[in-house]
Amino acid sequence: MTELLKNHVAGEWVAGSSTGVTLTDPVTGEALVRVSSGGLDLAHAFGFAREHGGAALRALTYVQRAARLADIVKLLQAQRDDYYAIATANSGTTRNDSAVDIDGGLFALSYYAKLGASLGDVHALRDGATVALSKDQSFSVQHVLTPTRGVALFINAFNFPSWGLWEKAAPALLSGVPVIVKPATATAWLTQRMVADVVDAGILPAGALSVICGGSAGLLEQIRACDVVSFTGSAQTAATLRAHPAFVQHSARLNVEADSLNSAILCADATPGTPAFDLFIKEVVREMTVKSGQKCTAIRRAFVPQAVLEAVLDALKAKLATITVGNPRNDAVRMGSLVSREQYENVLAGIAALREEAVLAYDGSAAPLIDADPAIAACVAPHLFVVNDPDNATLLHDVEVFGPVASVAPYRVDTAPNALPEAHAVALARRGQGSLVASIYSNDDAHLGRLALELADSHGRVHAISPSVQQSQTGHGNVMPMSLHGGPGRAGGGEELGGLRALAFYHRRSAIQAPAAAIDTLTQTTHPATA
């Protein structure tokens, strides 16, 4: 029988009491390891994290906690080869796709380690300037941020077992809040191994970092008013979480990142043969195929001027035809598998649903898989659809297929004086009911600024690209720790990262109304909430 991975709770490694769930290689079907959370004393686990892990973290200053993050980065970097091997075996990713998850997580950690080093040897932050409450200036108010005295529970998705952990844990630990992570079962191995390496190295105080692999039953029942929960997953599960007494009755904080029908818009001036057109084509293909399209930020809808629809389809099909699919261990493979046969069936069902109103413009499944058995491997080739009437379409704007699938749709260019040429495309993008990101492509930098503002109300991030930044731009789907990650409406209404903004979720804001001398003392013992 395969190895049973242990959980780390209350400062100890504990094996689940049940046989557990077996994790498999999504390409070969080989059994890898098992996970189980059966029989864990969750009340003790959460209590220990609050009382011991939290107290020990809060005793450290921001600078000291930042130094611990830097030590974690060094430790994890030394073990990168092991993490890459686990990612290939458990997630079916190529080395380049594994880097998005593993190196992306390390980059987020490193960023917050450096950011935290600028916050000073203090235990609280000032939020804004002191404001007088009396005419003689003797009585004032100063807003402060202090770490919440609870735990941060992370319920994470299957597609980013490394980045999903560290992009949340870095600002939480820097804030002085202990972390309990519940990774998605299908790909829990990498998360568990990274946590094990950090815990066994003794970098953090006991109870500061815990991992629970397996089922999530009973976790929310442990949440108290001072705790925070961050969830990444489906909108359906998020709706269930929101109705839980932990949030309805106890008002615990909940951050949600859910489904998102992200868009890419080819601007009216980006005609075939121009650099912006080529950048658009390259990015759509990249977002369809990186991690086999299993990214919450991937491009699902591409809106292009009606006049260039056929040119766009021809260019996309030509590039998609170069994508080889199969076993990521084979150097000839550019795109690996989905994380499981369950996801394989979900993606096929999504493709079948889109066929009801869209035309399949490209089907990569005609090419044989490389070094993989199609009866076993969870490999799906790229599929590109075209929706000729996006105004009357519904599935285009409602169905997210979490795989290498995207749809192209034409928009009407507004040629009236002073009109926004892409106004119709903006309206179509908004049909997604709130998205994590939209990207826009133009040869005119100034025009990008105008269009970005039109999209900002319904998107957590707008990625504006012109030839002037083709070498420096970070990519439509890459979430940088300096930028906000989250989105309104359907995308969950949550916010993560965004530099120091991420720390706000793990702090409580309070207004200190006091005499001038008290405010002076407070100022001397805190640091501005800006780097």
Tell me whether residue 213 is one of the annotated catalytic residues: no
Structure tokens at 188: 């829990």
For residue 319, the number of C-alpha atoms closer than 13 Å in the C-beta half-sphere is: 18
In whole angstroms, give the CA distance from residue 526 to residue 426.
Answer: 44
Cβ–Cβ < 8 Å for 501, 484: yes
- Cα separation, 449 vs 464, whole angstroms: 8
Query: Secondary structure of 395-462 in the HEC alphabet?
Result: HHHHCCCCCCEEEEEEECCCCCCCCCCCHHHHHHHHCCCCEEEEEEECCCHHHHHHHHHHHHCCEEEE
Measure the CA–CA gap between 3 and 262, rounded to whole angstroms.
39
Quote the CA–CA distance of 153 and 246 in Å, as a whole number: 12
Give the Cα separation of 419 and 310 in Å (integer).
25
The residue annotated as part of the active site, out of 167, 213, 257, 454, is 257
> Does 226 qualify as catalytic in the annotation?
no
As a whole number of angstroms, the distance between CA 332 and CA 404 comes to 18
Q: Which of 297, 381, 281, 385 is nearest to 336 (CA)?
A: 381
- The Cα 285–Cα 381 span in angstroms is 12
Let me know how many helices (H) and strands (E) the chain has, helices first: 16, 24
Which residues make beta-bridge pairs with 263?
Answer: 301, 438
- Length in residues, the chain: 531
Rounded to whole angstroms, the Cα distance separating 91 from 85 reads: 10
The packing angle between helices 80-91 and 62-78, to 10°, is 70
Residue 363 identity (one-letter amino acid):
D
Active-site position among 267, 296, 400, 422:
296
Quick check: helix, strand or coil at residue 243? coil
Active site residues: 257, 296
